[in-house]
Structure 1
Amino acid sequence: MLKILIPTDGSEQALLAVHHALELVNNGLQASFVVANVQDTATLYEMMVAHDPSVLQAVNEGAGQDLMRPAVALLEAAGQAVEQDVATGDAAQMLVDIAERHGCDAIILSARGTGSLRAAVMGSVSHELLHSSPVPVTVVKAVEAAEVDQDEQDGQDGQDGQGD
């Protein structure tokens, strides 16, 4: 049985990875899952206000649990075994650490689709994971609405019996 890491930030886009994983399970893959969320490191202001690192850690843990809830709910509703992990720091590095700590065999995550210029300037978690992960990484990309409309139109054109 494979153990698959699914990082999530709580967004609808992140749930695409969960849906993809469930499709694999529905097609016969036997797997268990680790859902993870990585919180940003506290800012100087947050550290000054909190005065106590344990308070910041508790806040990050709570926020991470809230953001993982939709992904965990989908997996559990499908009868899948799910572990959860929240970390703080550089997202790609923390996800590699989580994958290693939990003995994951693969990572499935969604891509934000921010484009190559933004990814080059800001960095991309999915891009960085593709290069640094010790296990295979599957990146699930959202289909753009324009692409879906064109595909639907192409399908209708091919079904009208008029040919090209």
Structure 2
Amino acid sequence: MERELYRKILVATDGSESARKAADTAIDLSRLSGAKIYAVYVVDRSVYSSVPEDPEWEEAMYVLFREMGEEAVSYVEKTAKNAGLQVESALLEGHPAEEIINFAEKNGMDLIIVGSLGKSGVERFLLGSVSEKVVRNAKIPVLVVHGKKQ
């Protein structure tokens, strides 16, 4: 039974286990609603831009993060296609929470799904939680899928 509640679902992924759980949840909701899934990975250049300039190292890090992103969205694409669902992916650059929200607004998303555990402890304190920033600033509903309890 398809419903019209969600037609476009954005799933933000960073390749972590919680992001995979978020993708699985997006796929389950898509099956129920007939929604198209949009898998988004954001390359955050600010993570390594504070290091003293070394163009070769910076390029190597950029390539590594893009490869990680391609792998992360590939999981969502393969899983969604295997379930017979429509899926599209995008690799973006910038601050993850801002880019996720901007993509959602520009593309008329109905729902954003994110995992809750990408960073923890000191990293979360220093950098902030992407999922928390998305929840606070998005103009559409956000579903946060919790990963493993630690």
Partner of 1:38: 42
Distance apart, 1:119 and its partner CA: 4.0
Distance apart, 1:115 and its partner CA: 6.3
- Consecutive unaligned residues in structure 1, runs of 5 or more: 146-164
Distance apart, 1:67 and its partner CA: 2.4
CA RMSD of aligned residues (A): 3.1
Q: Map residues 113-128 of structure 1 onto 2, 5 A cutoff.
A: 119-128=124-133
**SS of structure 2 residue aligned to 1:74:** helix
Q: Map residues 15-164 of structure 1 onto 2, 5 A cutoff.
A: 15-26=20-31, 28-41=32-45, 43=49, 48-50=54-56, 59=63, 61-112=66-117, 119-144=124-149
Q: How many residues align?
A: 142
Higher RCO (CA 8 Å, separation ≥ 6 residues)? 2
Distance apart, 1:82 and its partner CA: 0.9
Q: 1 CA distance for matches of 2:128 and 2:102? A: 18
Identity percentage over the alignment?
Answer: 27
Partner of 1:4: 9
Gap change, CA 1:9 and 1:32, over 3 Å in 2: same
TM-score under structure 2 length normalisation? 0.77
Is the contact made by 1:105 and 1:136 (CA closer than 8 Å) also made in structure 2? yes
Q: 2 CA distance for matches of 1:117 and 1:40? A: 18
**In structure 1, what residue type is equivalent to 2:11?**
I
- Consecutive unaligned residues in structure 2, runs of 5 or more: none
Higher CA-based Rg: 1
Q: 2 CA distance for matches of 1:118 and 1:65? A: 24
Q: 2 CA distance for matches of 1:102 and 1:47? A: 35
Gap change, CA 1:47 and 1:66, over 3 Å in 2: farther
Is the contact made by 1:10 and 1:71 (CA closer than 8 Å) also made in structure 2? no
Is the contact made by 2:18 and 2:118 (CA closer than 8 Å) also made in structure 1? no
Distance apart, 1:6 and its partner CA: 0.3
**SS of structure 2 residue aligned to 1:80:** coil
Is the contact made by 2:39 and 2:90 (CA closer than 8 Å) also made in structure 1? yes
TM-score under structure 1 length normalisation? 0.71
Is the contact made by 1:5 and 1:36 (CA closer than 8 Å) also made in structure 2? yes
